[in-house]
Amino acid sequence: MDDGSPSPSTNFRFRRVLLKISGEALMGASSFGIDMNACANLARGVAAASQAGAEICLVIGGGNIFRGLAGAAQGMDRAQADHMGMLATVMNALAMQSALEQIGVPTRVQSAIPMPTVCEQFIRRKAIRHMEKGRIVIFAAGTGNPYFTTDTGAALRAAEMDCDAMLKGTQVDGVYSEDPKKNPEAVRYDQLDYQEVLARDLRVMDASAVSLLRDSDIPIVVFDLHEPGALNKVLTGEGVCTVIGNS
């Protein structure tokens, strides 16, 4: 019986994944806000992977609109500022949903902060079923709690969704010892252990996110989000990336 689920057509190294991208990735050439052309470019890469049979969920940061820590630094109550940052991630999630649906990809947004007139509330079993049916699920509003970053929210959702890996799309093709844009001599790593990332303070993502993924034995894959076809290549084990896992 056909239950609406896609038929796998590709040999994936990672089939079910959570893709974490920054809010800044949605800005394009702008210095603030959402560029729908940038959203469309990202959507095409996600669509190609989904159509090949991958099960994909996303978490998008909110730094292109409002960052909680920045608000707190200006004297705003930290919890209030973090809630504003969570709302920014909902805006980004809705923009990405629009971009995906414009190219025919069924997408659901689930928010940790209930807002039923705008999107679904996060329900784990429902999210898993959406992914099994080939829908992209975008998780918004972080964990729903202040004092936690979207990295930690993404790690939590990756564990809850029983993902094979958490993919972090960045501006460079992996993890380096230093910022390669500032130091051309920076060393690039193909493989790292979770503990190495924490001990060297490599700032791939915050320590609580790395620790959660380590405890759940979910590898972190860091790759260049802007390379054409990069997502599909990483999923099949062919792309240039850094894989962080247990040694």
20 annotated binding-site participant: yes
* 82 assigned to a ligand binding site: yes
The predicted structure's pLDDT at residue 1: 36
For residue 2, is it within any domain?
A: no
Q: Per the domain annotation, does 73 fall within a domain?
A: yes
- Residue type (1 letter), 196: E
Q: Is 149 annotated as a binding residue?
A: yes
Look at residue 11 and tell me if it is in a domain. Answer: no
Would you give per-residue pLDDT tens digits along the chain (247 residues)? 334 444 455 689 999 999 999 999 999 989 999 999 999 999 999 999 999 999 999 999 999 999 998 999 999 999 999 999 999 999 999 999 999 999 999 999 999 999 999 999 999 999 999 999 999 999 999 999 999 999 999 999 999 999 999 999 998 999 999 888 889 899 999 999 999 999 998 989 999 999 999 999 999 999 999 888 999 999 999 889 999 998 7
User: Annotated binding residue at 176?
Assistant: yes
152 known member of a binding site: no
Cα–Cα distance measured from residue 131 to residue 157, given in angstroms and rounded to the nearest whole number: 13
Output the six-digit token pair for 120: 């679904």
| 5 secondary structure, DSSP code | P
Is 78 flagged in the annotation as binding? no
Cβ distance 101 to 56 under 8 Å? Answer: no
Report the Cα 61 to chain-centroid distance in Å: 8
Q: Is 145 flagged in the annotation as binding? A: yes
214 is in an annotated binding site: no
Ligand-binding site membership of 10 (annotated): no
Q: Is 63 annotated as a binding residue?
A: yes
16-21 vs 241-245, strand pairing mode: unpaired
Query: What's the pLDDT score for residue 8?
Result: 52
Q: Is 172 inside a domain boundary?
A: yes
Quote the radius of gyration of the chain (alpha carbons, Å): 17
Asked if residue 126 is part of any domain, the answer here is yes
Query: Does the annotation flag 246 for ligand binding?
Result: no
Per-residue confidence (pLDDT) for residue 181, from 0 to 100: 85
Strands (E), 47-204: 55-60, 107-111, 120-121, 136-140, 165-170, 175-176, 188-189, 191-193
9 falls within a domain? no
Structural domain span for residue 222:
17-245
239 burial (CB, 10 Å; 0-12 / 13-18 / 19+) is: buried
Residue 150 annotated as lining a ligand binding site:
yes
* 179 labelled ligand-binding: yes
Please report whether residue 5 resides in a domain: no
State the burial class of residue 62 (Cβ atoms within 10 Å of its Cβ: 0-12, 13-18, 19+).
Answer: buried
**Interaxial angle between packed helices 78-102 and 36-51, expressed in degrees from 0 to 180 and rounded to the nearest 10:** 60
pLDDT of amino acid 4: 46
Residues near 11 by Cβ (< 8 Å), separated by ≥ 6?
236
pLDDT of residue 136: 98
CATH number of the domain enclosing 190: 3.40.1160.10
- Residue 148 is labelled as binding a ligand: yes
With respect to residue 12, please indicate whether it lies within any of the assigned structural domains.
no
Which contiguous run of DSSP H or E holds residue 16? strand 16-21
Whether 146 has a binding-site annotation, put simply, is yes
Q: In the chain, how many domains are there?
A: 1
62 labeled binding residue: yes
